[in-house]
């Protein structure tokens, strides 16, 4: 069954996209959004050495709560899914992955 606009296939997600690629994007974005807690936990671990398990519980709990709030938020999933679909569409048009765009050397050197 073909859709009239041809966009039906573009909006379909493969298993790997739904279960691997979009969740990876969610983790990356959640780490950015929780960066203050990531930094606090990292600093605590660096300062505490072997005692980090005991001394950094509060920072670890705050970090987990922040990340989990994003991971379990359906709106955040939809936001990441929309961003992923835009990146995928751009890749299909240009053949350039999003991470490769930053690495491209300008041709006017």
Domain extent listing, the chain: 14-92
pLDDT at residue 12 in the model? 85
Q: Residue written as tokens 């974005």? A: 29
Whole-Å CA distances, 57 to 17, 40, 64: 34, 11, 10
pLDDT at residue 21 in the model? 95
Whole-structure pTM over 0.75, yes or no? no
pLDDT at residue 97 in the model? 80
pLDDT at residue 50 in the model? 87
Give residue-wise pLDDT tens across range 20-64: 999 999 999 999 999 999 999 999 999 998 898 899 999 999 999
What does the alpha-carbon distance between residue 22 and residue 16 come to, in Å, rounded to a whole number?
9
Give residue-wise pLDDT tens across range 68-104: 999 999 999 999 999 999 999 999 898 888 766 555 5
What does the alpha-carbon distance between residue 13 and residue 96 come to, in Å, rounded to a whole number?
20
């Amino acid at each position: 069954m073909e859709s009239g606009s041809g966009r039906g296939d573009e909006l379909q997600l493969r298993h790997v996209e739904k279960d691997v690629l979009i969740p990876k994007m969610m983790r990356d974005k959640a780490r950015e959004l929780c960066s203050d807690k990531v930094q606090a936990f990292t600093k605590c671990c660096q300062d505490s050495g072997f005692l980090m398990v005991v001394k950094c519980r509060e920072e670890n709990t705050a970090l987990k709560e922040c990340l989990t709030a994003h991971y379990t938020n359906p709106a955040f999933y939809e936001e990441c899914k929309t961003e992923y679909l835009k990146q995928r569409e751009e890749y299909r048009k240009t053949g350039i992955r999003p991470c490769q765009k930053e690495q491209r050397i300008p041709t006017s050197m």
